[in-house]
Amino acid sequence: MPVGTLGTVKGVHQRELKDDIGAQIILGNTYHLYLRPGLEILEKAGGLHRFNGFDRPMLTDSGGFQVFSLTGIRKLSREGCEFRSHIDGSKHFFTPEKVMDIERTIGADIIMAFDECPPGTADFSYARKSLDLTHHWLERCEKRFSETSPKYGYEQSLFPIVQGCVYKDLRRESARFATGFNADGYAIGGLAVGEPAEVMYEMIEEVNDILPQDRPRYLMGVGTPVNILEAIARGVDMFDCVMPTRNGRNAMLFTADGILNMRNAKWATDFSPVDATSTCFVDSNYSRAYLHHLFKSKELLAMQIASIHNLAFYLRLVKEARRHIMADDYSSWMADMLPRLSRRL
């Protein structure tokens, strides 16, 4: 899922998302949309779909990760989380019930339960308390969700989030707890937050042995092309990450043959396509030399081209992964791809 935190994927038009990139679903953020443009405007518009014009599915995360990121200006309790806006310093309080009401108003097709996201370096005692809080909040989220109705004439799905930091027993406990809600899908949160990649893969294996195989499994906030292929091999179905667009805006491009830094002087006279294996229109129409020129000149078009390229590459990569799963040769294909995806060109 391309990340559209504020209701927009930065630098990318809706037409490009659908026609050129082929995005079937994008992600928005509850915390940010609650603060700006605000619930009153979103409700008057008829929900986020009507507000931003994206007529395909959307998912909203619950704001739990953003609350985690606000260390120093937030206060957690069993009741909820008090925090100050990063925009104007105003004070707000999120409870699980309020988050469900906010996500009903935003109107995404898939909404996430409110959780606490502990750092990957948290000790066991903190992780234990954090997980108890997340499970308590999940029960309250599910109750509020079941007591309310969608606002815009279509159903919404609530996904629980499996937490537990880097502790296998906590992860297994959380996965078992989450499956008790018989949800349409399940998310794996609290990874790629400071722990080594190999530990992340171990945690995925622990929970995917428990989560239902006939429901989608969503790994939140991950990650690099290598991370995605490794996670698919362990049973993950859905991903989101700001990396394709954020790194693209900073001149890093992902390709099937490796990673390019478009500010490097070596590309100044390279008139070959950005990615010769791609059929995306930006790769067909713009050379590496031109994109290098745009970044060196600080032209806004550079960030737009790079964002579209990276998103199209990510979508193409997971489509190719699906084809190899269906052909029953995913493992050999992944083994060939991993070193290629990791190298710097």
From 61, 115, 275, 283, the catalytic residue: 61
Kind plus residue range of the DSSP H or E element containing 81: strand 81-84
Q: In the numeric block, which tokens belong to residue 86?
A: 């990063």
From 19, 169, 209, 240, the catalytic residue: 240
Integer-rounded Cα Rg, in Å, for the chain is: 20
Report the amino acid identity of residue 127.
A
Report d(CA 193, CA 336) in Å as an integer: 28
**Are 287 and 272 in contact, with CB atoms under 8 Å apart?**
yes
Active site includes 61?
A: yes
Please report, in angstroms and rounded to a whole number, the separation of the first and last CA atoms in the chain: 26
Strand-strand pairing, 217-219 and 186-188: parallel
| Residues forming beta bridges with residue 197, ordered by sequence position | none
Burial of residue 304, with CB atoms counted within 10 A of its CB: 0-12 exposed, 13-18 middle, 19 or more buried: buried
Burial of residue 297, with CB atoms counted within 10 A of its CB: 0-12 exposed, 13-18 middle, 19 or more buried: exposed
Report d(CA 169, CA 172) in Å as an integer: 5
| Residues forming beta bridges with residue 273, ordered by sequence position | 287
Q: What is the DSSP string of 55-71?
A: -S-EEEE-SHHHHHHTT
Report d(CA 132, CA 125) in Å as an integer: 11
**Are 106 and 42 in contact, with CB atoms under 8 Å apart?**
yes
The H-assigned helical ranges of 117-270 are: 124-147, 168-179, 197-208, 225-233, 243-249
214 DSSP assignment: T
Q: In the numeric block, which tokens belong to residue 141?
A: 């989220």
Active site includes 240?
A: yes
Strand-strand pairing, 238-239 and 217-219: parallel
Question: Annotated catalytic sites, by residue?
Answer: 61, 240
